Amino acid sequence: MINPFKDWNPERLTRHVSQAGSQLDDWLHLTLDRTVRLAVTGLNQSGKTVFTTTLIHHLLHALQGSNLPGLKAAEENRLLGTRIMMQPDLDIPAFPYERHIRTLLANKPAWPMPTEALSEIRLAIRFRPAGLLSGRLSTSSTLYLDVIDYPGEWLLDLPMLKHSFDSWSELTLKLCEEEPRRTLSGRWRDHLASLNPAEPASEEIMRGAAESYTEFLMACKHPKVGLSFLQPGRFTIPGDLKGAPLLTFCPLPPPGPEGSPAGSIRDAMARRFDSYLRLVAEGFLKRHFSRFDRQIVLLDLLGALNRGPTAFADMHTSLEAILENFRHGPSSLLSRLFSPRIDRLLFAATKADYVAANQHHNMERLLRRLVARSANDASFLGVEIQSQSLASLRCTRTVVRDHNGRRLSFVQGTPKGREKETLLFPGEIPETVPDAEEWDTHRFHFMEFEPRRPPDAESPTPPHIRMDQALEFLLGDKLR
């Protein structure tokens, strides 16, 4: 019998496989379980850009003295180097890692500006597999990591997808019955009252109504109000759609007996709403949000506590509505190839350096309570869940001092807008969602900080809080 493999040896086989062309690469990496598409999910200002930047920085510098004791591959000296690779999508701008890290670590450091467009990055992490058996079979292996960054506001487009124009209008107008939306929407609702939606539409009428509605959304977004359930997401951060007719519609009260004549304002608004869903929201979901394997959900709990009960509840509603749109479930070879699902989900309360270390326990308990429903839904589907607090870039240190006979934990750092370091008592984090009485207006005042290195930071990579644990949970099993 002829044996076609008679003259083949392992080296020859490897050479032939590697010659098979780069198109096969993605397919091969997926089948070999060597690609992770990480969903960094979070509302605006939750810390996505800083997290992504420092994650890349830590991996790129892991050989220069690891600052990641919780990441086993780093601790066991199995990381062999990381590179930024050619991007998978030619029409998406590259994530500006260099620019962000230069700004964050400059002599006069600064935080990144709010993100206004989508970008992506692919890393190749070369590592030595753990264990004797795999060590014999291969000396090194590569894990590809894909991450995208985008404005947090755009996530609110995802929950719009289950609505018709009428049901979305009804929901939005219902929200405007409660304060602070009631007052803030006054001018826009007056504007609506001056229109007859059954009359013929014109670009001017459409633009006028959309501008008035956008002003209302911007007033809700103002840091002093801090609402997050603001739709459509592109109205506050239009990106490349600035000025496009696609962004000229707004919710309308239910139709009267006049209905929705063809060419009327109502008819035109409903059509633009449908186009927005199809071209923007659905495009965003299908192209970028349906391919993830792992997810980290970042929550700025402390900022939400600062902004008070309404903003806190609004953040919670937004988060639950957004998470319904991701595909969660255990991953198998087939699902990885044809219908990827998120099989590990990490909830992370960010900016843990705003408070002293003894508050992190409460921060994590509060986080767990807040995400209980979403975590339960995902866990039911077989997803592994973890919750933790973290700081992508630690800008303070905890200092314990005696004060009037009590031992108190302070934080030392440079408060936002100041030049000098200060010792502050940051206050305490409740371990449950505060009830009405607890939301006394002066209770939560967590200070924001400038991105300065704390004086005790010695490592070549910037200090963090539990980034290593987050990375171990998200990537650790793929680096074995």
Ligand X SMILES: Nc1nc2c(ncn2[C@@H]2O[C@H](COP(=O)(O)OP(=O)(O)OP(=O)(O)O)[C@@H](O)[C@H]2O)c(=O)[nH]1
**Applying CB under 5 A, which of residues 67, 115, 228, 318 lies at the interface with Mg ion?**
115
Q: Is 82 in the site for Mg ion (CB under 5 A)?
A: no
Q: Is 350 in the site for Mg ion (CB under 5 A)?
A: no
251 touches, from Mg ion, ligand X, none (C-beta below 5 to 8 Å by class):
none
Question: In angstroms, rounded to a whole number, what is the distance separating the alpha carbons of residues 212 and 251?
Answer: 11
Q: How far is CA 236 from CA 151, 191, 253, 302, 460, in A?
A: 10, 19, 22, 23, 38
395 touches, from Mg ion, ligand X, none (C-beta below 5 to 8 Å by class):
ligand X
Burial class (CB in 10 A: 0-12, 13-18, 19+), 388: buried
CB of 470 to ligand X, least distance (A): 12
**Applying CB under 6 A, which of residues 69, 114, 223, 263 lies at the interface with ligand X?**
114
Q: Is 35 in the site for Mg ion (CB under 5 A)?
A: no
Question: In angstroms, rounded to a whole number, what is the distance separating the alpha carbons of residues 230 and 213?
Answer: 11
Site string for ligand X, 382-401 (x = CB under 6 A): ---------xxx-x------
Q: Is 461 in the site for ligand X (CB under 6 A)?
A: no
Which span (45-53, 128-136, 181-189, 271-279) binds ligand X, by CB under 6 A?
Answer: 45-53
273 touches, from Mg ion, ligand X, none (C-beta below 5 to 8 Å by class):
none
CB of 287 to ligand X, least distance (A): 18
Which span (59-67, 85-93, 110-118, 201-209) binds ligand X, by CB under 6 A?
Answer: 110-118
Q: Is 363 in the site for ligand X (CB under 6 A)?
A: no
Q: On the CB side of 383, how many CA atoms lie within 13 Å of its CA?
A: 29
- Closest C-alpha among 179, 82, 89, 180 to residue 140: 82
Question: In angstroms, rounded to a whole number, what is the distance separating the alpha carbons of residues 214 and 207?
Answer: 10
Burial class (CB in 10 A: 0-12, 13-18, 19+), 148: buried
Burial class (CB in 10 A: 0-12, 13-18, 19+), 72: middle
Site string for Mg ion, 39-68 (x = CB under 5 A): ---------xx-------------------
**Applying CB under 6 A, which of residues 30, 38, 39, 50 lies at the interface with ligand X?**
50
**Applying CB under 6 A, which of residues 58, 71, 73, 152 lies at the interface with ligand X?**
152
Residue ranges in contact with ligand X by CB under 6 A: 42, 44-50, 111-112, 114-115, 151-152, 350-351, 353-354, 391-393, 395, 448-449
